[in-house]
Amino acid sequence: MPENKDQTLQQEFNRWAAEGEGEKMQRHHLDITEKAIRQMELRPGERVLDLGCGSGWATRMLARLVSDGPEGFGQVVGLDISDEMIRQARAESKDFENILYVWGSAEKIPWEENFFDKVLSVESFYYYPDQDRALNELFRVMAPRGRMFILINLYKDNPYSLQWADKLKVPVHVRSKDEYIELLQAHAFENIEAVQVSDDTPTPGDYVTKSFRSLDDLKAFKRVGALLLMASKPDLRTPAAGYTIY
């Protein structure tokens, strides 16, 4: 695959995978992800993409929610740029018939257009070197009226999150809530919403943090919470007045 920037990301996240970060991320992201998944209103039969799926724990949650039901057999695709993460995700998902893990980049999603009813992306979007290309790709692979849910822990409106931006070994985007809304508007998404989702898990008094200056800062970071971006692809089959389809 990949272009140089993708190779750098792949190496970095392969290292994370080898150091067991997949499991740690589950603990750190579970509370905010459960809240995001509730917003997704998933139904059996839906087709879902987990973009930047890591070790696949959230992918498996999604797969349980869309599997067998009166509306059919739902399917979940987990995509990640780290082949090590994909390997771990596959190993831990052997009991699932409705998950497919794919190694690839968010900037070149190896999937057909107009396919996914819902997209979830947990703590991955700010790593993409070219977020515009990733949004073009999401727009392409989403079904008309499909809805995406992007969780971002590192953004300007949570000042505590900025403490660990320079500890990361790969470049990241640090935008504000309003800047993200503008970006989604520029890509023609509609029904855009941006809400802050607090992490309500308790922080033990003896917890050791390397990412924050103090436990109080970590607690404040969790209280301010992650940014959840939600947006839909317009239904281009029945364009609203004023749209011209060529």
Considering only the stretches 73-81, 195-203, 206-214, 229-237, report the one whose residues sit in contact with ligand SAM under the rule CB under 6 A: 73-81
Binding-site member from 32, 36, 49, 106 for ligand SAM (CB under 6 A): 106
Residue 80 in the binding site for ligand SAM (CB under 6 A): yes
Residues 48-67 that bind ligand SAM (CB under 6 A): 52-54, 58
The verdict on 9 binding ligand SAM (CB under 6 A) reads yes
By CB under 6 A, how many residues form the interface with ligand SAM?
22
CB of 228 to ligand SAM, least distance (A): 13
Closest contact distance (angstroms) between CB of 190 and ligand SAM is 24
* Cβ atoms of residues 9 and 170 within 8 Å: yes
Q: Is 48 helix (H, G, I), strand (E, B) or coil?
A: strand
- Match 């869309």 to its residue by tokens: 66
Calculate the CA 9 to chain-centre distance: 16
Instruction: Pick the binder of ligand SAM from 101, 126, 128, 221 (CB under 6 A).
Output: 128
Q: Applying CB under 6 A, does 25 fall inside the site for ligand SAM?
A: yes
Decide: 136 and 105 in contact? Cβ < 8 Å: no
CA distance 204 to 117: 39
The correct pick among 99, 122, 154, 226 for binding ligand SAM (CB under 6 A) is 122
Binding of ligand SAM at residue 13 (CB under 6 A)? yes
**Stretch in the footprint of ligand SAM (CB under 6 A) among 38-46, 90-98, 118-126, 176-184:** 118-126
Dist. CA 107–CA 135, nearest whole Å: 8
Q: How far is CA 28 from the centre of its chain?
A: 14
Structural element, H or E, at residue 40: helix 21-40
Report yes or no: 191 and 231 within 8 Å, Cβ to Cβ.
yes
Contact assessment for residue 81 and residue 13, using Cβ atoms and an 8 Å cutoff: yes
Query: Tokens 């996240």, residue?
Result: 13
Report the residue number, 67 or 124, with the smaller CB distance to ligand SAM: 124
**DSSP character string of 120-135:** EEES-GGG-S-HHHHH
Determine the interface stretch with ligand SAM among 25-33, 34-42, 212-220, 233-241 (rule: CB under 6 A).
25-33
Q: Which residue of the chain is nearest ligand SAM when measured via CB?
A: 54
What is the contact surface with ligand SAM in residues (CB under 6 A)?
Answer: 9, 13, 25-26, 29, 52-54, 58, 79-82, 85, 105-107, 122-124, 127-128
